[in-house]
Structure 1
Amino acid sequence: MNGYRIPGRRAVEIVKDELLGDGMEGEVYPIADNSAVCAKIYTSPHDDVIDRVAALVGLPPARWDGDHPAHFHVAWPQAPLVDERGRPCGFVMPRIAGLPLEMLGDARGRHQALLEPTWRELLVIAARVAHLFDMLHDVGVVVGDVSLKNVMVTPTGHVTLVDCDTVQFTAPGGRLFRTPKFTPEYAPPEADQLVHRPSTPAQDSFGLAIMICWLLMEGQNPFAGVLTDASLPDDVQQNVMSQNNRLLWPDRFVPMEGELPVEVLPPEILALARRCFAEGHHDPAARPRPGEWVAALNRAQYRLMGCRENPMHFYSASLPSCVWCARIAGGLLDEYPPRSPLVPPGPAAPVPQQPAGVPAQPQPEQPGIGAARVVAIALLLVLVVAIILAVMSG
């Protein structure tokens, strides 16, 4: 044993020679006798971090169930840890399966990450991310550090928020724990004021809108790209501040090779995104809330067209024809190619430094009709017809 334990309970053996992930604040390791959980050990734990963890373990998300037994909506701290001297040093949390959401920006990453790497599945995943934000806001939690790296996705498309010890929340005693950091590429125009005031759900809503556009537009951040005004810097955060957005003013950007038209977004999704980045730029209250995204994305799933040429191609019914086939005809690569039956899904490269390890639940096979059953049914039908004819002739 290496001296770690849960206060008032038992010792915890941490496998220090198997690093699952690391960051500025600490490192994540497996726990020897329980593959369903892991431990985060802080590099330099200070009082605010220790108080934060102690408060987090008592909040509702610590008791949330997932969409199925092996899934968690959040990698929430479950119990604090102390070292051999009894000093707080980290916490125990669920060990999460899957890969970071940022893997889904291109065909190769989608085939590594998902069992069904289609655009229809991306709509489902986007709705699940929005639902996750909606659940957190309902219990007074603000994500704050919105980022594709902080959401994991399983092969079946289920999502989990990681890095949960950085969220903003109010402890039962009334103390506000603010989020200590944010990712500039997903931060709203008021980001420069975040260091001086608490984060808000509207801040999350801005980052969520960027994530949804990114998922549905082949990894294109609507604020990223080279500006036509060469005197301005090509900086995503500065573009957010200046409201330089491809969905609103595409003429401000130099066209990118293979750039998707904004019409690939279903009309209702495009309208929500434009509302967020237009009125919502100056008025945070105008930004669509996560629940609005959930409803719109779910409706969009029922308004899809399938492609006659490729069963992996799905597109919005608002388009006259398959956008993916049109891109192939224009000389671009197929973003949703058929999966080879000889190549199962799974990471071909080392998994990025995030906690991972719980195997995804196998999907039950659908019962089929075997050849023998088909023959039996055919013979039964012949017999029935013969009986009917015999009765009629008699």
Structure 2
Amino acid sequence: MSGRVVFIGGERVVLAENPLKSGGQAAVFEVEGQPGSVVKIYHEPPGPEQERRLCRMLTMAPLGGRPVDFTQQPELAWPTAPARDPGGEFVGYAMRKFGEPEHVQLVALFSRAQRLRMFPDRADWKFLLGVSWNLAFMTARMHDEDLVIGDFSSNNVVVDRNGFITFLDCDSIAFTDPVSGEAFPCEMHTADYSAPERQAGGPATRASDDFALAVLIYQILTAGNHPFGGVLHDSDSQATVKDNIAASCSYVVRPERVVIPRGVIDPSVLPPALLALAHRAFGLGVTNPPARPSAREWLVALTQERPSVRTCTARPLHSYGSHLDACPWCARLAATGVDTFGATPLPDGTPVPEQEWGLRAVLIAAAVIVLILVVVVLTYA
């Protein structure tokens, strides 16, 4: 069934009945007959400030206005036109569609199953290092253009098969109109990526972006481990990541204060220069914003590390930092039975976790033994 009718740049379009996704502020709908476009419709009527924000954004061409090469998708899901209801009221905006199978949310890289499904032949640590580089590069470029991401999280970034990223929800980006001088703040933020000053109601700044960037890079390079996970020894067992950030306590910096969750990857998998930046971000930088490493500092450190990544001789999907003498993922596989960056495939090509394959192998072996016994009995009967 068809859904709502809106006008995009004067053209009448029909939206899909059900949204692709819906959040607290708005819902995103596909456009019938236009597979490459979507429309974001606000749940509540947006005020004049939001309309002025959008109109100003439509006159801007951030980051040069186009991808840096022909293989790369647009770097920002920037508004392309206002959306109005049949009465002419502003209700949202149109933009390019970014979704599967071409793009997946950054959070998918934190899941072994999702990495194997979406990037079966390239989702190794070297690929994650490249995604981290792209994320730092994009953040630095946006800061150079006086744009603050604000609501910076793993759900607001998508990545394609080449590791290129695109920022979503650009209507919440903070910026100042250079013509009128009007400031457009970012009111949204995601708790697990919010620095203490943002949790306390402070404005989005480059420094708050730097905090979120550090968390995301650490998560990417440790296959999903949040640096503020775990429970503090002297806190409520129901404490959350948000609580740990507010308490300025990360197991990366203060492991003695945290009951670290099982399965957490040791921070030492990060090369020394990157681990030093993480210590700054999750130590002094939690409560002292100027002490946080900038996007450009992350970019320099990541650039220096990329050429020297090593590849495991035993498993081609195991790559790791040049500071390590042996493959950490093989050691983890031997200790836990879980292959963080690989899987034994089933006959149909579907990856299977090592634990499941171990059970499957036992069952197959048992079936073979039974068959041999049957053959022996029949032979000598």
Q: TM-score, normalised by structure 1?
A: 0.81
Match of 1:14, SS state, is strand
Equivalent position of 1:150 in the other structure: 156
AA at the equivalent of 2:288? D
AA at the equivalent of 1:251? E
Equivalent position of 2:334 in the other structure: 329
Query: Is 1:170 equivalent to 2:176 in the alignment?
Result: yes
Cα 1:14/1:68, change in 2 over 3 Å: farther
Match of 1:13, SS state, is strand
Bigger mean CA deviation after superposition, 30-39 or 257-266: 30-39
Which residue, out of 132, 138, 142, partners 2:138?
132
Given that residues 227 and 252 in structure 1 are in contact (C-alpha distance below 8 angstroms), is that contact kept between their aligned partners in structure 2? yes
AA at the equivalent of 2:187? P
Which residue, out of 188, 193, 207, partners 2:195?
188
How many residue pairs end up in the alignment?
A: 341
Cα 1:339/1:64, change in 2 over 3 Å: farther
Which residue, out of 98, 104, 107, partners 1:99?
104
What is the RMSD of the two structures over their aligned residues, measured on CA atoms?
2.2
Identity of aligned residues (%): 30
Q: Which has the higher strand share?
A: 2
CA positional deviation for 1:338: 5.1
Equivalent position of 1:51 in the other structure: 52
CA positional deviation for 1:37: 2.1
Bigger mean CA deviation after superposition, 146-155 or 108-117: 108-117
CA positional deviation for 1:49: 2.2
Which residue, out of 286, 296, 321, partners 2:291?
286
Equivalent position of 2:31 in the other structure: 31
Given that residues 113 and 154 in structure 1 are in contact (C-alpha distance below 8 angstroms), is that contact kept between their aligned partners in structure 2? no
CA positional deviation for 1:318: 0.7
CA positional deviation for 1:241: 2.0
Bigger mean CA deviation after superposition, 108-117 or 128-137: 108-117
Tell me the distance in 2 between the aligned counterparts of 1:201 and 1:153.
Answer: 22
Unaligned runs of 5+ in 1: 346-394
CA positional deviation for 1:287: 1.2
Query: Is 1:110 equivalent to 2:115 in the alignment?
Result: yes
Which residue, out of 258, 267, 278, partners 1:262?
267
Equivalent position of 1:40 in the other structure: 40
Note the 1:1-394 alignment, pairs <5 A.
Answer: 3-7=5-9, 10-47=10-47, 48-61=49-62, 64-66=65-67, 67-68=69-70, 71-97=73-99, 98-115=103-120, 116-171=122-177, 172-193=179-200, 195=201, 197-231=202-236, 234-337=239-342, 340=345, 343=349
Unaligned runs of 5+ in 2: 352-381
Given that residues 22 and 28 in structure 1 are in contact (C-alpha distance below 8 angstroms), is that contact kept between their aligned partners in structure 2? yes
Cα 1:302/1:50, change in 2 over 3 Å: same
AA at the equivalent of 1:186? Y
CA positional deviation for 1:222: 0.9
Tell me the distance in 2 between the aligned counterparts of 1:130 and 1:279.
Answer: 21
Q: TM-score, normalised by structure 2?
A: 0.83
Bigger mean CA deviation after superposition, 227-236 or 304-313: 227-236
Q: Deviations over 1:30-61 (max 9, x none)?
A: 22343322111222222232222122222222
Bigger RCO of structures 1 and 2 (CA < 8 A, at least 6 apart): 1
Cα 1:60/1:336, change in 2 over 3 Å: same
AA at the equivalent of 1:216? L
Given that residues 82 and 89 in structure 1 are in contact (C-alpha distance below 8 angstroms), is that contact kept between their aligned partners in structure 2? yes
Tell me the distance in 1 between the aligned counterparts of 2:196 and 2:13.
Answer: 45
Cα 1:190/1:83, change in 2 over 3 Å: same
Given that residues 252 and 267 in structure 2 are in contact (C-alpha distance below 8 angstroms), is that contact kept between their aligned partners in structure 1? yes
